């Protein structure tokens, strides 16, 4: 999985404990006091938006704004220790931190309309709408595409694909442009289609997509964007994807 570039600084250590200050009252630390202390400790401008209880007892969730992107840190109720990392729910493996970040940075209605303008191609005219951000050279994207293929064939999903070629994938950007310029679709993407056609329309769409998604803090692929504005970076299995889209698995309970 390719992780978001901006979140590398925010969340790279799974657990980083920093003693910041003692004497906070029970519940959660005061936002203003905590912000002053963290700015003093880290010597950088950290904007704390909100401090509230997290799903984990005795741990508070700290919503921060970093480079225009909202992130989540954790602190104990007394404000003594700060964790810049991720929390998973053991029972089902859910990444609680990732879910919170997706909720905080969800796409607005106007931003969803912008996604429509930036779409490279659309598969199907009906079905549950899903936006997929990919790089044709990304091996994880290929796994995501393989999971989507049978659902697309059944017409259960309407897919809108956006291109986000990573700078270290040589030739990926030109490949994306050629797919757009030659009006190719999902099969061409999966089969590594490329040509020398580098039309202005294709170049503009790829560049605009990169700028728009980077402003939203997205730097990892594949990324799924749902119609409620939430997104998920990484590979979603078939069951997880269907659950998020509200598609019922008709095979459940049937005999083999």
What letters, b where the CB count within 10 A reaches 16 and e where it falls short, cover 131-167? bbbbbbbbebbbebbebbeebbeeebbbbbbbbbbbe
User: Edge-to-edge strand order for the sheet containing 128-134?
Assistant: 121-123, 157-163, 128-134, 223-226, 231-233
Can you give the residue ranges of every domain in the chain?
Answer: 5-104, 109-245
Q: Is CATH 3.30.1490.20 what the domain over 109-245 is classified as, yes or no?
A: no
For 84, counting Cβ atoms within 10 Å of its Cβ (0-12 exposed, 13-18 middle, 19+ buried), the class is: buried
For 23, counting Cβ atoms within 10 Å of its Cβ (0-12 exposed, 13-18 middle, 19+ buried), the class is: exposed
DSSP lists the bridge partners of residue 55 as none
Give the pTM: 0.75
Each of the 256 residues of the chain gets a pLDDT tens digit; together they read 443 343 333 444 444 444 444 444 458 999 999 998 888 888 777 889 999 999 888 999 999 987 667 889 999 998 889 998 889 989 888 888 888 888 888 999 999 999 999 999 999 999 999 999 999 999 999 999 999 999 999 999 999 999 999 989 999 999 999 999 999 999 999 999 999 999 999 999 999 999 999 888 887 899 999 999 999 989 999 999 999 999 887 554 444 4
């Amino acid at each position: 999985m390719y992780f978001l570039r901006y979140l590398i600084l925010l969340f790279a250590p799974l657990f980083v404990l920093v003693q910041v200050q003692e004497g906070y009252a029970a519940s959660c630390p005061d936002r203003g006091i905590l912000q002053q202390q963290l700015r003093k400790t880290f010597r950088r401008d950290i904007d704390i938006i909100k401090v509230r209880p997290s799903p984990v007892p005795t741990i508070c969730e700290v919503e921060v704004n970093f480079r225009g992107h909202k992130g989540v840190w954790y602190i104990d109720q007394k404000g003594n220790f700060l964790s810049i990392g991720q929390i998973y729910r053991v029972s089902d493996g859910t990444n609680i931190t990732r879910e919170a970040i997706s909720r905080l940075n969800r796409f607005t209605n106007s931003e969803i309309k912008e996604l429509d303008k930036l779409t490279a191609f659309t598969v199907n005219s009906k079905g549950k709408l899903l936006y997929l951000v990919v790089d044709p050279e990304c091996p994880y994207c290929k796994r995501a595409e393989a999971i989507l293929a049978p659902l697309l064939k059944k017409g259960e999903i309407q897919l809108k694909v956006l291109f986000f070629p990573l700078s270290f994938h040589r030739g990926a950007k030109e490949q994306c442009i050629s797919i757009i310029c030659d009006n190719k679709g999902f099969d061409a993407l999966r089969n590594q289609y490329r040509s020398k056609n580098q039309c202005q329309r294709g170049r503009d769409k790829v560049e605009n997509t990169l700028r728009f998604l980077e402003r939203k803090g997205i730097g990892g692929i594949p990324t799924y964007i749902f119609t409620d504005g939430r997104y998920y970076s990484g590979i979603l299995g078939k069951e997880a994807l269907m659950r998020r889209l509200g598609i019922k698995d008709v095979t459940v309970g049937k005999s083999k």
